[in-house]
């Protein structure tokens, strides 16, 4: 998924563990193997782990013994067709939405009139998709710890609804539990 190197057939790269719901080569997996820090391990004995990105601080939920990566941060091998297509689609949305462009520049730490690089556009799209998902999941009396959004970071938006769920800490008792999804 990340660099786009074929994983089967003639000239295939060695496949690494599936990461963030996608297949990728071993080199791409190794590149982000220490990207996240484990912050909650099997809370309340649930088969879930919660990680935090060492670069941007975003959190992500993942099943125990699975591998994941940051919802937002790309890396130097993130250059496949999905990243380019996501960036181009996001840049097209910015042409008609100055508020969205302002949010993207703010997230990226760019000046008001600065050009948004393609990789930055993909990361900004992922950041905004994650923020929207977290707003949808917010509940009174709960602190959201992490969620899992299928499709991030490469697609910049949710591409499927199966996930490891959204996990929160109940403010009253301190327990960590999954937050059930309810449509707004």
Is the pLDDT at 130 greater than 70? The verdict is yes
Query: Do 147 and 60 meet the contact criterion of CB atoms below 8 Å apart?
Result: yes
Is residue 109 situated within a structural domain? yes
Is residue 11 situated within a structural domain? no
Is residue 81 situated within a structural domain? yes
What range does the domain containing 99 cover?
26-171
Sign of the CA dihedral with 134 first, then 135, 139, and 143 last: positive
Is residue 166 situated within a structural domain? yes
Is residue 110 situated within a structural domain? yes
Q: What is the mean pLDDT of the chain?
A: 91
Is residue 136 situated within a structural domain? yes
* Structural domain total, the chain: 1
Is residue 130 situated within a structural domain? yes
Is the pLDDT at 52 greater than 60? The verdict is yes
Q: Ramachandran region of residue 74, left (φ > 0), alpha (ψ -120 to 50) or beta?
A: beta
pLDDT of residue 183: 46
Is residue 14 situated within a structural domain? no
Is the pLDDT at 184 greater than 50? The verdict is no
Is the pLDDT at 144 greater than 90? The verdict is yes
Q: In the chain, what percentage of residues exceed pLDDT 70?
A: 98
The mean per-residue pLDDT over the stretch 68-85 comes to: 88
81 CB-near residues (< 8 Å, 6+ apart): 4
The mean per-residue pLDDT over the stretch 108-118 comes to: 94
Question: Per-residue pLDDT tens for 7-40?
Answer: 999 989 999 999 888 888 999 999 999 999 999 9
pLDDT of residue 79: 77
2-6, 41-45, 101-105, 150-154: range with lowest mean pLDDT: 2-6
């Amino acid at each position: 998924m990340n660099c786009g190197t074929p994983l089967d057939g003639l000239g295939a790269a060695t496949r690494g563990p599936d990461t963030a719901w996608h297949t990728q080569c071993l080199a791409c997996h190794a590149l982000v193997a220490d990207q996240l820090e484990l912050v909650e391990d099997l809370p309340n004995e649930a088969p879930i782990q919660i990680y935090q990105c060492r670069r941007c601080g975003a959190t992500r939920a993942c099943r125990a013994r699975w591998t994941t990566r940051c919802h937002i941060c790309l890396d130097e091998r993130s250059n496949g067709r999905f990243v380019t297509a996501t960036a181009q689609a996001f840049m097209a949305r910015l042409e008609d939405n100055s508020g969205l462009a302002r949010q993207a520049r703010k997230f990226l730490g760019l000046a008001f009139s600065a050009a948004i690089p393609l990789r930055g556009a993909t990361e900004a799209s992922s950041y905004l998709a994650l923020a929207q998902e977290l707003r949808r999941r917010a509940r009174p009396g709960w602190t959201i710890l992490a969620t899992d959004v299928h499709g991030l970071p490469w697609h910049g938006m949710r591409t499927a609804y199966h996930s490891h769920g959204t996990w929160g800490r109940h403010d009253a008792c301190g327990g960590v539990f999954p937050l059930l999804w309810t449509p707004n």
